[in-house]
Amino acid sequence: MKREQDPKFRHLETVVGAFLIAALAAVVSMVVVIGMEKDLFAEKYHLRFRTESGSGFTQGMPVKLSGFRIGRIKKISLDEQAKVVVRMQIDRKYRKWIRADSIATLLKEGFVGDSVLNISVGSPGSPMLPDDDFIPFTEEKGLNELAREFSDSVKSVLLEVRGTVAYINDPKGDIKQTLANIRQLSASLEETRRHADALLLTTTDGLGRVGPVMDNLATALDNVGRRLPFLLDRMEGTLSNTERISLEVRKAAEKAAPRVPHLLGGAEELVEDTDDVVKGMKRMWPFRKHIPPANERGIVPGDSHE
């Protein structure tokens, strides 16, 4: 009874009531704010796509259109053909941009960023997609796959080149044998030339001695005539091989070249970002005390006895 008379408790019910109302209002406004933030109150519709593998997808993963988040992945399930069906929940207000020719793509934000699902903007002439309809899906190749693809294409070319080089270098191979034959042939020709010289010098000794030399020459020419087509065939084969290899190399390079600046640009950006992060960390309290001081004067150390 004494408490009730205390003036401090005179408006207790009013204060408690006001406090409760304020707390309730705060909770409601928090729910509203979070709901608006998470688009809980926005009108939604669903789209689906099929893919071979569910790796890279997670429930709640953002769905983007032109870089803007327009929804998220609601459900990932397996269908009767063991294919993965991904169901997306998308704000209805973006429906006008997603048409029958829109394509969903799984891509990475930067080299080390999170994966996002991107939907391309459809052409205005195509019809809008109804609720729960299927949309085509493609997966952007990752860095590893690009590198593997490039490596595979170059590997085959390198194997060809290695085979060709081994073929050329093989001492028992056609090329070496052909070269040996040419050497032998040129030696024969040299011998023949010497004989011819001798013949010319000894012409005065009698034309009768020309006969054997001419025979030699004829033999040598026969040799040339017999071996030359074979040699030319071989050379032609080698040239066509080389031509094919260079064509494949060019194709591989052309395929890879457009990606190289992109990869380099990305890598450079990544290095710069890392540099910024490291610089920032170096200045932070827990780290800056453990980083050894730099050469204060920035001078190459000198020594009085060099």
Partner 1 sequence: MSSRERRPRLPAARFLLACVLLWLAGAGCSGSLPPPVPPVRERAAAWNRHGLAAEARGDRDEAIVAFGEALKLNRSIEDGTGTATALVNLARIHRFKGDLPLAKEKIDAATLILPPDSPLFPETAFEKAKIGLASGNLPTAKEWAFRAVDAEKGDAAGRMLNLLARVLFLEGKGDEALGRAEAALAANRKSGVRGEEANSLRLLGDIAAARRDRTNARYLYAAALSIDKDLAKSRKIADDLRALGAVAAAGEDTGGALAFYTRAYDVSINGGDRREAAEALLEMARLYEKTGAPDKAKSAMTEREKLLIAIEEK
To the nearest whole angstrom, how small is the minimum distance from the Cβ of residue 58 to partner 1? Answer: 35
71 forms beta bridges with 63, 90
To the nearest whole angstrom, how small is the minimum distance from the Cβ of residue 305 to partner 1? Answer: 4
Q: Which is nearer to partner 1, 206 or 302 (CB)?
A: 302
Contacts of 245 (CB under 8 A, 6+ apart): 157, 160, 161, 164
To the nearest whole angstrom, how small is the minimum distance from the Cβ of residue 188 to partner 1? Answer: 45
To the nearest whole angstrom, how small is the minimum distance from the Cβ of residue 280 to partner 1? Answer: 10
Q: Which is nearer to partner 1, 17 or 280 (CB)?
A: 280
Q: Which is nearer to partner 1, 198 or 291 (CB)?
A: 291
Q: Which is nearer to partner 1, 37 or 303 (CB)?
A: 303
To the nearest whole angstrom, how small is the minimum distance from the Cβ of residue 290 to partner 1? Answer: 14
State the CB neighbour count (10 A cutoff) for residue 287: 12
Q: Which is nearer to partner 1, 7 or 302 (CB)?
A: 302
Q: Which is nearer to partner 1, 258 or 286 (CB)?
A: 286
Instruction: Give the containing element (helix H, strand E) for 15.
Output: helix 12-37
Q: Which is nearer to partner 1, 250 or 288 (CB)?
A: 288
CA dihedral 38, 41, 43, 44 (to 10 degrees): 40
To the nearest whole angstrom, how small is the minimum distance from the Cβ of residue 303 to partner 1? Answer: 7
N-terminal to C-terminal alpha carbon distance within the chain: 98
d(CA 205, CA 201) in angstroms, rounded, equals 9
Residue 227 in tokens: 């071996």
Q: Which is nearer to partner 1, 206 or 301 (CB)?
A: 301
Closest by CA position to 188, among listed 155, 241, 226: 226
To the nearest whole angstrom, how small is the minimum distance from the Cβ of residue 101 to partner 1? Answer: 46
To the nearest whole angstrom, how small is the minimum distance from the Cβ of residue 300 to partner 1? Answer: 5
To the nearest whole angstrom, how small is the minimum distance from the Cβ of residue 14 to partner 1? Answer: 23
Residue 207 DSSP code: G
Q: Which is nearer to partner 1, 67 or 286 (CB)?
A: 286
Contact set with partner 1 (CB under 8 A): 283, 285-286, 288, 294-295, 297-300, 302-306
Q: Rounded to the nearest 5°, which phi and psi values hold at 223?
A: -55, -50
Using a 10 angstrom Cβ sphere, with 0-12 exposed, 13-18 middle and 19 or more buried, the burial of residue 90 is buried
Residue with tokens 């709901």: 35
| Cβ atoms of residues 44 and 91 within 8 Å | yes
* b (16+ CB within 10 A) / e for 4-39: eeeeeeeeeeeeeeeeeeeeeeeeeeeeeeeeeeeb
